Amino acid sequence: MKVLFLSSEVFPYSKTGGLGDVAGALPSALNDAGAEIAVISPSYRSVRDGGGKYSPVIDDIRVPLGAEELSFGLLSAESANGVKILFVEREDLYDRPNLYRGSRGDYYDNLERFAFFSWSSLIAAKSIGFRPDIIHCNDWQTGLVPALLKGPFAGDSFFASTSSIFTIHNMGFQGLFPSHKMGLTGLSEGQFYHPQGLEYWGNISLLKAGIVYCDAVTTVSPTYSREIQQPEHGRGMEGVIFRRRDRLYGILNGVDYRLWNPSDDPYLPSKYSLMNLDGKALCRQALTREMGLSEIDQEAPVLGMISRLDHNKGVDLVVSVVEKIIGRGGGLVVLGKGEPSLEDALKRAMQKYPGRISVRFEVDERLAHLIMAGCDIFLMPSRYEPCGLTQMYAMKYGSIPVVRRTGGLKDTVSEFDPSSGRGTGFTFDAYEAGAFSEAIVKAFRTYGDKKARETIIENGMKEDFSWNRSAESYLKVYRELSGHD
Ligand code: ADP
């Protein structure tokens, strides 16, 4: 089984969120399960500056896009765990400080950038003779690929036995562009720009292109696969998804325990495991010192959050429970970057409670690991959450998750029941301050009860969300499509 895995970000080379983690881990789990994988991603500035070693595969490959013929180079990274990792290099499109947006919003030429990436990926596969049984596309940035296979590449014998699967990591990002830019896609307007195609209320939607033209759609948790067929979470695409429901699969993301494991985490000042949790207390000390949480009650929990600061992540709910946390002697650390209005709200809370609330508005891998280990309770009150990875990391690090029962959060965190001793965290349903606050109070209460605390931490640390289970589920879909063993 040969799989071409296309992703606009891949950890450790590039990452803005969970997609990067998935693309960094799933291919090697698929490789372990017996598939042959090549990953292709754009060569952003972060890729070139990341210190990895790259070798040119082909210098000058031509892409006939619109009226022009553009060229790109193909680079290869040192193979990681048997997975071939390739980068499409073209400075004017990808050599920028960020992946998708600058300080003034989305890059104006994102359609050019990702249409080019989609075309280049197919042409690169041909150029190196990697004939895939499956092309696995991820999110709107690669949504054009299934359409290209049904359009300009339909008669290409190289892809005659190739099927495409399209994974939705977030329905909120729809890859919308004005219709007059259709020429940049290289697709025929008559064949593709209509309501049954990639037209979406007068715009081009690359997310819709992926959903409509792929051979199977997957999304990143079973609950989210049901939610996106409904108006609340379908974000206007619920009808489009519903029409594909026979070929829609919800496959939970996994955790790369090679990177996220407190017993072997190079970022931690002290490592620990379920057998000996002393190191967690040292990590908490290091975290509170580094973040300046000097005024908290030593017996009270430190609450943590690591997140893109986006409206779906529930930052407004976190701000609404600040008084409750402070009133009980707790502390709060947040690591996140994003919406200025959400950053402002957190800044105000931090200024009001110095020494008790500390926020960093940056992206910092090391600090993310330290917060995961050093906090006691981890917050994820998302409005919606396709899968969510950090709640799974939190459980492994012995931090008690408090989550809203939506999407993958519902599939991974179970409510703790003190009488049976079962459950891994605290959950709530309604998106409102009162419901979240009640869940937080329960978490504080459990934290204050040594026996209950030890039980819930043990339950969480024993959970196993390894990628190999998800990889098997993807392979099953690949086999159904390709007829291969
Ligand atoms: P999403 O994909 O919606 O961003 P996930 O929970 O699936 O959410 O994945 C988020 C990933 O991004 C995690 O690996 C998390 O640690 C990381 N992350 C988010 N914000 C930051 C940040 N400011 N600094 C470092 N890592 C971050």
Q: Using one digit for the tens of pLDDT, what is the confidence trace for 343-386?
A: 999 999 999 999 999 999 999 999 999 999 999 999 999 999 99
> Which atom of ligand 1 lies at the shortest distance from residue 21's CA?
14
Ligand 1 pocket check for 392: Cβ under 6 Å: no
Q: 256 alpha carbon to ligand 1 midpoint, in Å?
A: 14
Q: Is 80 exceeded by the pLDDT of residue 66?
A: no
Q: 444 alpha carbon to ligand 1 midpoint, in Å?
A: 25
pLDDT at 104: 87
Domain ranges (residues) in the chain: 2-254+467-482, 262-462
> Which atom of ligand 1 lies at the shortest distance from residue 11's CA?
14
Ligand 1 pocket check for 388: Cβ under 6 Å: yes
Q: Residue 377 in contact with residue 395, Cβ under 8 Å?
A: no
CA distance 197 to 143: 12
Ligand 1 pocket check for 389: Cβ under 6 Å: yes
Q: Residue 444 in contact with residue 330, Cβ under 8 Å?
A: yes
CATH 3.40.50.620 fits 262-462, yes or no: no
Q: 23 alpha carbon to ligand 1 midpoint, in Å?
A: 13
pLDDT at 437: 98
If one residue of 173, 308, 363, 406 were mutated to test the ligand 1 pocket, choosing by the most ligand atoms within 8 A of its CB, it would be: 308
Q: Is 80 exceeded by the pLDDT of residue 22?
A: yes
pLDDT over 90 percentage in the chain: 95
- Using pLDDT thresholds of 50, 70 and 90, give the confidence band for residue 95: very high
CA-based nearest residue to 225, from 174, 309, 166, 143 = 166
Ligand 1 pocket check for 365: Cβ under 6 Å: yes
Main-chain dihedrals φ then ψ at residue 359, nearest 5 degrees: -130, 140
Q: Residue 318 in contact with residue 342, Cβ under 8 Å?
A: no
H-helix segments, 33-165: 45-49, 91-94, 110-127, 144-150
Mean pLDDT, rounded, for 275-302: 97
If one residue of 220, 389, 392, 406 were mutated to test the ligand 1 pocket, choosing by the most ligand atoms within 8 A of its CB, it would be: 389
Sign of the Cα pseudo-torsion (400, 309, 255, 53, in order): negative
Ligand 1 pocket check for 21: Cβ under 6 Å: yes
Ligand 1 pocket check for 363: Cβ under 6 Å: yes
CATH entry, 2-254+467-482, from 3.20.20.140, 3.30.1360.120, 3.40.50.2000, 3.40.1800.10: 3.40.50.2000
Ligand 1 pocket check for 26: Cβ under 6 Å: no
Ligand 1 pocket check for 338: Cβ under 6 Å: no
Mean pLDDT of the chain: 96
Q: 66 alpha carbon to ligand 1 midpoint, in Å?
A: 36
Q: 19 alpha carbon to ligand 1 midpoint, in Å?
A: 9
Ligand 1 pocket check for 308: Cβ under 6 Å: yes
- Using pLDDT thresholds of 50, 70 and 90, give the confidence band for residue 103: confident
Common-topology check for domains 2-254+467-482 and 262-462: yes
pLDDT over 70 percentage in the chain: 100
